[in-house]
Structure 1
Amino acid sequence: KGCKAWDENCTGEGRHIKGQARKTAVQMRLKVTVAREATHGDSVIAVAWIKSDELVSVGDDQKVLKWNLVNNDVQVLMHLPSSLYPTDMQWLAYDSTKQQSNSIFALTSTEGKFYICNRNGRIEKVVEAHQGAILSGRWSHDGSTFVTCGEDGAIKMWSRSGMLRSILLENAHPVYGICWNGSDSCIAFCCGENCSTKVLKSQIPLIKWKAHDGIVLCIDWNANTNLLISGGEDCKYKVWDEYGRQMYCSSSQDYPITSVAWNVDGDLFAVGSFNLLRLCDKAGWSHSLEKLSTGSIYNINWSPDSTQLGGACANGNVLHAYLVEKRITWRNIEAIQTKQQLIDVRDVLSDVACEKLELRDRITKLSLGFEQLVVATVKQCYIFRLVSFPSLSSIFRLALLEALG
């Protein structure tokens, strides 16, 4: 009896463990890990994902570090030139449909230049872009265009090779953040107290609205839901639709909001502030609040599979967090992912009917319905049939899947 997961040789790699029913309510949250000692010698400015188990960070110590989250290995990817103090880092996204590799990344700097580098850490091109610091830079989703904004208030579009395509807008105040919509047909940016959206290649006028009672420090746009989030010096974060209509406004936090980021799926977002990391759903409701000792979290980036995030911290640490206690239900059956590789399945009508399913690889997706439990990991996908609960039986294993990202 029980559930069993099968490897490619059908030898059975999953383990079924009898357990007691959970008697307390669960709440989805982030499990946060931070090194005891700072790895960077100064503030970490930005983090980015190469793939779902490899994270890259850059800091004011002028080093780019690569983190392997499977074996906790940290390596120096590159040492930056003495004149380069980074303000942002963006890796070209991997496109599995086009087999497009994230082989290059861009570093923006306080000197008004951005640097196009290959994945081995070699600088391929240096581009003079802005007067004053470049505050943010973003690749389009198809990887063909790089957009930058800076202290000079200008928003500029560049080709993948670093050639200037257009000066899209010029503003009177610095532009702190910029992002693309899902179809790469529109950008959103924050300048002063306002957020704006601008449709490219169209005569549609700029949509502009007052977003915060203070400078807007960060903005993000989700490609799937078309919702925006912003954070400002008024210590609030807000959710907007594409036309600037407010969907949610948080209460005032203790400190300014320094970073916001949607996960890829668009059902969750994270908010960073001074010694604080918050997890919220797309409606704005908070699921968890982590009080840390990291200083301000300058940048947040979700992994391609939406299960983990990295954070750039002012004290020189790189924050790593992953989702736990994610719950799905069908009729009277409840499945809860309690750890990265562990799922509790129980009958809510019974005090004792509980099964634990442990898999070898990290779980990325869960789905429950029609007497079937589908579990996707970074390498495999499993389908379990709810026969006569509390007993589960595996009916078959799908072909091996490549790791997401």
Structure 2
Amino acid sequence: MPSQTNQTPDTQKLLTLDFVLLFFLALFSNCYLAVYYCFEQWLVKVAVDPHWRGLLLGILFGTLLVARPCAIVFLLKRNKLPVVIASLLVSSGVLFSYQYLDPSSPLFEWTLLGLRILQGTFLALFSTSVVSVLVSCIPPGQSARGFALFSITFLLPYGIIPSLGEYLLTVVGDEPHLYALTGLLLIPCLIMTGLLAPRLKKPELTQRRHTDFRQYVGRLALGVTHSGLGLVYASMVSFSIGTSTCIFFIKGLCTLTGGNPASFFFFYTMTIILVRVFGSRHLDRLPCYRIVPIVACTMALGVFVIAWGPLWAYVPATILYGVSLALLYPLTASVVYNRSTPRTRTVNSNIMMLTFDMSALVSPMLGSAVLSMGFDYHAVITVAGIMILVCGTLFTLDGLIPRRRPTHY
């Protein structure tokens, strides 16, 4: 936009109308995933084998992992508006369909598998479109703040849906009807999509560059492979495995400890939101390579206390977990943003999303494997804490490589 060309990073506005609209579109659509907080326990209730449970939990994100790279390239020179609309319709349709499945059918697990793959495929298209628009809305110098604020769209649904879901389950009767009720969020999602139509219609490649598409993709691939972000991505996979494991299996742990799963989601997400709303302006000034290893350790400590500590420490440990995660994600995300060239920024940010897809695929399978070996949910959550410690270690190693560490970090 011409009006922003002559602005400095400090004077460019982050909270534009498009950013706010994108925020609410992502907020409502992420409820489609947050409602699966009770998916593992529903599979237990309908007597699905543990090996199937791990696969069914992870396959949606495994599909994301496979489909997202294709979606990144596919959408580079295309109008994203029809893709976003189709993705919302399919995701809502999947949520509505669970109530019609018969758990006694021999095809029950296979039908669930197909639905999860279908939703994962369209979620990859939707998420890639949203991330590409998001990156174009963030001014230089405000990356950590931008990612911190936008990450609320992932967090707030997990703070609201589990608490509200536990109540609604007593009203609607079971999980499939809760999923169907969540599918009604299609209406506000379509409204936000309509308001964002001008942004979504604009392809990342201009007409002038369409004829040079292969060369352009080749230059993107070169920029991505020479970014030096391998250890950063690996650290993000590690902490994401930890957080995903907690999300999928905290309700199972609470059946052993007597804790309230809704309290975990509420307190950690509300803590993160408060930290990021009131502290987001300061995030870009923090020394990433000093802070991230520290908060990885405090986050892991919170997980270990949640798994093994007394019940009175459950909420304080959850708050510690939330404060640590509030700093960990935006600081690691800002490293990806700041170490990318303007041309590779969208692609590298989508690769960052791939790390979350990979962790969401691995974590339910890892947790189910631990349970299959005869351990209980205490051990599953302990593994989550260990993975978060691995994140801090990998990030520290990345910081020890001088050519990968800019002076302002």
What TM-score bracket applies, with the shorter chain setting the length?
Answer: under 0.3
Q: Which has the higher helix share?
A: 2
Q: TM-score scaled to structure 2, two decimals?
A: 0.23
Q: Which has the higher strand share?
A: 1
Rg: which structure is higher? 1
